[in-house]
Structures are given as C-alpha cells and as structure tokens.
Structure 1
Amino acid sequence: MSNTSEDLYAVADFCLIPMGTAETSVAEYIAECQRVLEKSGLKYELHGYGTNLEGPWSQVSAAIHACHAAVHAKGAPRIATDIRIGTRVDREIKPGTGNIGKVERVKEILKKD
C-alpha cells in the first residue's frame, strides 16, 4: 500500500466559520459550502457544528478549498476553519464508510452495556 498523500484515504471533520459578515446566522454561507460538497462527489454529512467529509486526501483538501472560495464569493471577507483529518494504512477502508464505520463500532460496544 502506498503512503503518498494522494493515495491516503482521509476521514475528515471540518467546521468552516465565516467571519466579518453582518448577519448573526451563518446558515446561508454553510448552505453554499454544502452545495460545493454536493458537486464534489465525495461522501459528506452535515452536523450541528461542522461537516464530516471523506475520500482521497487530495480531493478532501480540494473540496474544503472550494468551500472557502465559494463562501468568500458569497461575501464573507474572512473564514476560519478547524479541520481534523484521520488516515490509516493498517487496513483498507471501503470508500464512503470511514465515518459510519467508526460510529457503528462504538454502537456495538455500547450494546454490550
């Protein structure tokens, strides 16, 4: 298995925060980012404080970059983004199952309680 960054399957969680807008709510900006992710073809899921995103490292990075560009184009003068990315090379992750696999494993453990 190759270990170059282009080959790594990335499971990411990111929170894009538009700054310097006149609005209290950032929902319109986040919706714009979700439109970008829909076009990316990557597996993603919005949650209350961010988005889970997974796929090849280079495509995940490119999608987050495209979200920044789209949100700036919508009028946000500044953006801060927190990103957590996990990779693993000890086993193959079936594309699209990285985040759900982690959640399901925890649920299995809790069922034993």
Structure 2
Amino acid sequence: MSGTSSTDLYAVADFCLVPMGTAEPSVAEYIAECIRVLEKTGLKFKLHPSQCSGYGTNLEGPWSEVMKAIHDCHAAVHAKGAPRIATDIRIGTRVDREIAPGTGNESKVQRVEDILNKA
C-alpha cells in the first residue's frame, strides 16, 4: 500500500457517485469507468444497488488510498464527459480493535447474520 503512513486510519467506506449533465439518462457507462479505476487500486470494493442513483460501492483500505480512489473516479468520469458529479460518502473507522485488511465490510455483515442465526 504505497503512499500510506503508519498512522493512516483504516477506512470502511460506502460511496455513491452520480454523473450529472450527461447526454443520456443511463449512467452505467460512467459507473463502469469508475469501477475500472477501482480495479487498478488494489483496494477491496464491491458494487451494489443504491437508493441514490441505482449504484453504490463499498470500498475499504487506508484512508488516504480510499480518498484517492474516489478522487480518481471523479477525474475519470469527468474525462469520459460528465460535466458535473455529485457524490455521497459514508466512512467508518475504528481504533478499538484491529481490522484485517479487506474484511471490514464482510465482518460487519457476518456479525449481524450470526446474531440472526442464533434466534
């Protein structure tokens, strides 16, 4: 993980990037461009349905790398022709326990499923 410091917080993020002012109502091509960017980062991510525009993405890793990845998605989607972009971002961090890289989102879901399976 290049460019991170030993004090970089581990971030579990969910973001929804919404291209605006495009020629057609579908934004799938722009979202695909963002996913291409994320594939090159080495960070763990997962595209999912979202209420904001139909797409959302879970992304996790060192804070600085997560923020750079979202920045790079903006740059790539602008380069593809979107004149405006609105992005909602939710980020969680914790320092009370160690989070194994790439397991932040999965472990949260697994914890809830474990509780439901006990009932």
Q: TM-score range by the shorter chain?
A: over 0.9
Q: Which runs of 5+ in 2 are unaligned?
A: 51-55
1:55 corresponds to which residue? 61
Q: Measured at CA, do residues 53 and 19 of structure 1 come closer, stay the same or move farther in structure 2, by a change above 3 Å?
A: same
**Cα RMSD (Å) of the superposition?**
1.3
Query: What amino acid maps onto 2:87 in structure 1?
Result: T
Q: Runs of 4+ in structure 1 displaced over 4 angstroms?
A: none
What displacement does 1:7 show? 1.3
Q: Which runs of 5+ in 1 are unaligned?
A: none
Quote the Cα distance in structure 1 between the aligned partners of 2:89 and 2:62: 15
Q: Is 1:77 matched up with 2:86?
A: no
Q: Is the 8 A contact 1:5 1:58 kept in 2?
A: no
Query: What amino acid maps onto 1:38 in structure 2?
Result: E
Q: Measured at CA, do residues 56 and 66 of structure 1 come closer, stay the same or move farther in structure 2, by a change above 3 Å?
A: same
How many correspondences in the alignment? 110
* Structure 2 residue corresponding to 1:102, chosen from 95, 100, 108: 108
What displacement does 1:12 show? 0.1
Q: Measured at CA, do residues 5 and 68 of structure 1 come closer, stay the same or move farther in structure 2, by a change above 3 Å?
A: farther
SS of the aligned residue for 1:79 comes to: strand
What displacement does 1:74 show? 0.2
Q: Measured at CA, do residues 81 and 5 of structure 1 come closer, stay the same or move farther in structure 2, by a change above 3 Å?
A: farther
SS of the aligned residue for 1:40 comes to: coil
Query: What amino acid maps onto 1:52 in structure 2?
Result: N
Quote the Cα distance in structure 1 between the aligned partners of 2:8 and 2:90: 18
Query: What amino acid maps onto 1:87 in structure 2?
Result: T
What displacement does 1:45 show? 0.3
Q: Measured at CA, do residues 43 and 27 of structure 1 come closer, stay the same or move farther in structure 2, by a change above 3 Å?
A: same
Q: Is the 8 A contact 1:5 1:57 kept in 2?
A: no
